[in-house]
Amino acid sequence: MAFKLPDLAYAFNALEPHIDAHTMEIHHDKHHNAYVTNLNNAIAGTDAEHMSIEDICKNISKLPAPVRNNGGGHYNHSLFWSILGPNAGGNPSGKLADAINAAFTSFDKMKEEFNKAATTRFGSGWAWLLVHDGKLTISSTPNQDNPLMDIAEVKGTPIMGLDVWEHAYYLHYQNRRPDYINAWWNVVNWTAVAARYEEATK
């Protein structure tokens, strides 16, 4: 029961001009695909072969480094594609918006804190909006770690993640990570993030 590369729910060029088609194609078909292949190779013949990707993350301290790197890579990218889309951006609404206001005072303050986490993550990693003890919070992780992992500094259920590896933006933005981060907000699918929030808090 090997893991599979999930299809994108939209075309490679659907997120333009914010994320270009060439970046999307390489990121999905090459980078994410390699995480899936390497994860399957790393778990073949081990107990992890029969675990969900969530359970692999939650027990990552007991698993070898290639499972941490590639299992995290598979989980993180699957989440990333699912919370993006065309005709997106704008502001969250409903219970998610209420929870953001409760935790950060406003959507703008949340964005500010998230942007800081994404901008200041040194080298490769991710910024996260997650549910931690029933409340929303922001964190960042190095490499392909994520908040589900038992080794994470801030643990919880991620509902939104931003990939700040150079492979996510370098072709179009080169070294201008802040420009990529600002543009990325235009392709966040708040309906998808809200659904993850509902799931994480029910």
Smallest distance, Å, CB 35 to Mn ion?
8
Whose Cβ is closer to Mn ion: residue 130's or residue 168's? 168
Q: Mapping DSSP to helix (H, G, I), strand (E, B) and coil, where does residue 161 land?
A: strand
68: its two tokens: 């941490």
165 binds Mn ion (CB under 5 A): yes
Q: Any alpha helices (H) in the chain, and if so which ranges?
A: 21-25, 33-43, 53-58, 65-82, 94-104, 107-120, 170-173, 177-184, 190-201
Nearer to Mn ion, 24 or 100 (CB): 24
Site for Mn ion (CB under 5 A): which residue of 163, 164, 188, 192? 163
Q: Which stretch binds Mn ion (CB under 5 A): 15-23, 99-107, 154-162, 168-176?
A: 168-176
Q: Applying CB under 5 A, which part among 15-23, 51-59, 143-151, 161-169 lies near Mn ion?
A: 161-169
Q: Which is nearer to Mn ion, 6 or 107 (CB)?
A: 6
Look at the chain and count its residues.
202
Residues whose CB is less than 8 angstroms from the CB of residue 74 and which lie 6 or more positions away in sequence, other chains included: 3, 32, 35, 36, 39, 53
Q: How many residues contact Mn ion, by CB under 5 A?
A: 3
Distance of closest approach, residue 165 Cβ to Mn ion, in angstroms = 5
What residues contact residue 64 under an 8 Å CB cut-off, 6+ apart? 42
Q: Which stretch binds Mn ion (CB under 5 A): 3-11, 150-158, 163-171, 179-187?
A: 163-171
Q: Does 145 bind Mn ion (CB under 5 A)?
A: no
Helices assigned H by DSSP within 83-187: 94-104, 107-120, 170-173, 177-184
Residue 75 interacting with Mn ion (CB under 5 A): no
Binding site for Mn ion (CB under 5 A): 163, 165, 168
